[in-house]
Amino acid sequence: MKNIKNVNTVKSIIKAFAIIEALDEAGPLSIGELSKMLAMDKATVHRLINTVKDIGYVTQNLETKKYSNSIKLFEIGRNVIAKTGLFEAARPYIELLSAETGESINLGIVRDNKIVYVDKKEGKSAIKVSIKIGTSIPMHCTGMGKAVLSHMNETERENIINQIEYRKYAKNTSLDKGTLLRRLDKSHELGYSIDDEEYIDDLISFGAPIFNYKGDPIAAISISFPKSRYDEADHGVAYPALIKDAAANISKQMGYIK
């Protein structure tokens, strides 16, 4: 929970949102687990979480008694994104890429130091290695996240990189800043990024950044599929070209002029 010093803040609201953020990060969680994680007494957690549950932002599993965020938060988030025009601009290219490749196509936006999957079209293959809409993933170990990071200004990028907790998610996760910076430099040079089993084993993806009218990388689009089906000659040239072209066209729709 952030240390907020504004005298006009309402502490109970801050604590309620801390609960929601904890559920987003690590849920489902019990009252006891939330109390320990947030250093709040159980009575306070119980009072606040039942308040947000009563207005529909949190749900409770009747068997485990644990709490999770409800889809209401996701619906609000989607409405915010829809007002930016991103969904409308990106959806035709998601459909087009899906039809051309038969692979899973993903759309992600930046939230703090993570990429949030906000739209996707599943691939046609019977073998699927995919990530659900609404999932938030550290930027440094995803194709979309690295595509955005590699095109951020130095101050923003350094701020995010300094928050990274280097841990091993899959066989090729970046485990130190030096490795990550080399990968980001390569992504910037190529205009796209590769997630080669960095977050999920047997998942490879190609991601490219989407820019707004100011030239800021605000989102990304990616093609992902099982690494076991990867063929350098077939996928290594065609897929990067397709994803870069789609991202460039979406960026134009968002008002970006290179």
Question: pLDDT tens track of the chain, all 258 residues?
Answer: 445 454 445 788 889 989 988 888 887 899 999 999 999 999 999 999 989 999 888 999 888 999 998 878 777 777 766 666 788 889 999 999 999 999 999 999 988 888 999 899 988 765 666 688 888 899 999 999 999 999 999 999 999 999 898 999 999 999 999 999 999 999 999 999 999 999 999 999 999 999 988 899 999 999 999 998 888 888 989 999 999 999 999 999 888 887
Cite the residue boundaries of each domain of the chain with CATH code 3.30.450.40. 75-253
For domain 75-253, give the fold.
Answer: Beta-Lactamase (3.30.450)
**Contact between 166 and 176 (Cβ < 8 Å):** yes
Alpha carbons 193 and 171: distance in angstroms, whole number: 17
Q: Class of the 11-69 domain?
A: mainly alpha
Within 13 Å of residue 70, how many CA atoms lie on the same side as its CB? 13
What's this model's pTM, rounded to 2 decimal places? 0.72
In the chain, CATH 1.10.10.10 sits at 11-69
Let me know: does 117 contact 133? Beta carbons within 8 Å.
Answer: yes
